[in-house]
Amino acid sequence: MVRKNNRDSKSLYQIKVTLVGSKPPIWRRLIVKDNIRLDQLHSVLQVAMGWFNYHLHQYRVGRSYIGIPDKDTDFDVTDERMVYLQDIMSNVKDNFIYEYDFGDGWEHKIVLEKILPLDSSESPVVIKGKKACPPEDCGGIWGYSDFLAAIQDPKHEEHEEMMEWVGGEFDPDEFNMNFINKKLNDLKF
């Protein structure tokens, strides 16, 4: 259920975003204002995780869907431009799902870890994370597993093809917090 709270920022939220099904886990810990709109949060999540916004997305909060309404959808979708993070989570451990790329089905579990006092800290900002984001269009969590097997074994029958497809190199352990925060700082909203 979407609550309609005061839109003024009262606090900062420390949230953890984990790519569901990733082993070892691919995750980011972020600080965002409690009054960030969900369309803005989408932009933050794209940068923080390393996606390129090539595909559709939606949020699932309980049985509610929040995203970009489409008259051709056969279920109700609340407009993400009208919903603020504080509308859907306000207590530590509250959580919801952010889904990106309906074909590959990347699901991200977002959990409110801490509510922090509002201060002059930069927001949004990533404060920790692990692992690289999978490449776009690699086939979801199962395709990513196959992709990793191919690029890590030079004798694998698809090694050369996958290396060419990914642009010559890919480090699944890479996490560059400074690069991500520079890109987050460039977001304008």
Residue 6 lies in a domain: no
Residue 70's pLDDT is 86
Same domain, 27 and 89: yes
Same domain, 109 and 25: yes
Stretches where the chain sits below pLDDT 50 are 1
Residue 2's pLDDT is 55
Residue 34 lies in a domain: yes
Residue 164's pLDDT is 97
Task: Please give the model's pTM, rounded to 2 decimal places.
Answer: 0.94
Residue 73's pLDDT is 75
Residue 74's pLDDT is 75
Same domain, 100 and 138: no
Residue 3's pLDDT is 54
Q: Which domain holds residue 113?
A: 11-132+175-185
Q: Mind giving me the DSSP string for the chain?
A: -------S--EEEEEEEEETT-SS--EEEEEEETT-BHHHHHHHHHHHHT--S-S-EEEEETTEEEE---TT-SS--EEGGG-BHHHH--STT-EEEEEE-TTTTEEEEEEEEEEEE--S--SSEEEEEESPPPPTTS-HHHHHHHHHHHHH-TTSTTHHHHHHHTTS---TT---HHHHHHHHHT---
Residue 4 lies in a domain: no
Residue 63's pLDDT is 94
Same domain, 123 and 40: yes
Residue 66's pLDDT is 98
Residue 4's pLDDT is 54
Same domain, 141 and 110: no
Same domain, 47 and 90: yes
pLDDT tens digit string along 165-178? 999 999 999 999 99
- For residues 63 and 29, what is the distance between their CA atoms, to the nearest angstrom? 25
Residue 188's pLDDT is 83
* Number of folded domains that form the chain: 2
Residue 1 lies in a domain: no
Same domain, 57 and 43: yes
